[in-house]
Amino acid sequence: MELKKTPLIVAIAGKGGVGKTIVTTLIAKVISTSCKYKLLLIDADPTHPHLSQMVKLVPEISLEKIRADLIDNTISKKEDFQSLAETIDFKVYNAIKESKDFSLFSIGQPEGPGCFCPSNMLLRKVIESISSDFDVVLIDCEAGLEQINRMVIHSVDILLIVTDISLRSVETAKSISESAKKFTNYKRIGIIINRVKGEIANILGKLGEYELPVLTLIPEDELLTKFDLEGKPIIDISENSISFQKIKETINNILEI
Ligand SMILES: Nc1ncnc2c1ncn2[C@@H]1O[C@H](COP(=O)(O)OP(=O)(O)O)[C@@H](O)[C@H]1O
Ligand SMILES: [Mg+2]
């Protein structure tokens, strides 16, 4: 067996609502079905943290909660700063929820109003420290450019950008790829066009013009819609579903599993 020194980090980015979390879930299903890799999922979307429900693995505590508790304890001086700093690693490791197929860590939602920057900065450090225990790390990113511009997603090997068949999502993909060139050290980039139906020559044309390589096209999948309607976790979708098959083919090409 080949022993890897560093994990393969795959980030899934794109405009809001295009299917990032669905794609992350389907990739997790492909990788866990192969049983070859120790897999960590990171739900890095603080506004729509749906990954855990989609994969049926909900951690008891999020990074945001750890951070909020740390601030509370520092302010109320329940613990001195030194001992708090020493326990943070332990708390982060305990926040990784494990199942037999994969593990999941969640950035969580801030409890009060305010910005996600502090959690995002912490997340960058956390990704670096917890990833080394895994072979593959999948990061379901926040919509848009923020986490790439702020270098939260810095050490990424493969950047997958999801679009739908709207030109707006292609423009977002272009901006993400430009930011990623500046702020990340990705080795491979690829576009996944999701919810494809009808004629999409202009979308393909634009992506060609922007020199963004298309990895696959996922059609509108009735089975996904049915799962959505019934509120079922997407990880349980049939391996015969068209969306799973497309992602399987793509991931097989990238990871050779
Ligand atoms: N190929 C598809 N066919 C049908 N429904 C889809 C497809 N891809 C995504 N969806 C649905 O679109 C919605 C948004 O997907 P989601 O993965 O949550 O987007 P994002 O994470 O980018 O915000 C979900 O309800 C999802 O089930
Ligand atoms: Mg999402």
Distant-in-sequence, close-in-space partners of 134: CB < 8 Å, separation ≥ 6 = 7, 37, 38, 39, 40, 103
Write the pLDDT tens digit of every residue in 117-156: 777 778 888 888 899 899 999 999 999 988 888 778 888 9
pLDDT of the residue at 113: 66
Ligand 1 is surrounded, with C-beta below 6 A, by: 14, 16-22, 48, 50, 194-195, 218, 220-221, 224-225, 228, 243
Separation of CA 93 and ligand 1 centre (Å)? 30
- What are residue 10's DSSP bridge partners? 138, 158
All residue ranges of the chain with pLDDT < 70 are 1-5, 78-79, 81, 112-116, 256-257
pLDDT of the residue at 74: 76
Write the pLDDT tens digit of every residue in 70-104: 888 777 776 676 777 778 888 999 999 999 999 99
**Does the domain at residues 8-255 carry the CATH identifier 3.40.50.300?**
yes
Token code pair at residue 198: 């009808």
Q: What is the DSSP letter of 235?
A: G
Residue nearest to ligand 1 atom 15, measured at CA: 19
pLDDT of the residue at 3: 47
pLDDT of the residue at 149: 81
Separation of CA 109 and ligand 2 centre (Å)? 13
Distant-in-sequence, close-in-space partners of 248: CB < 8 Å, separation ≥ 6 = 30, 239
**Cα-flanking dihedrals φ and ψ of residue 4, to 5°?**
-95, 140
- DSSP assignment of 127-194, as one string? HHHHHTT-SEEEEEPPSSSHHHHTTSS-S-SEEEEEE-SSHHHHHHHHHHHHHHHHH---SEEEEEEE
Q: What is the DSSP letter of 204?
A: H
Ligand 1 atom at minimal distance to the Cα of residue 164: 8
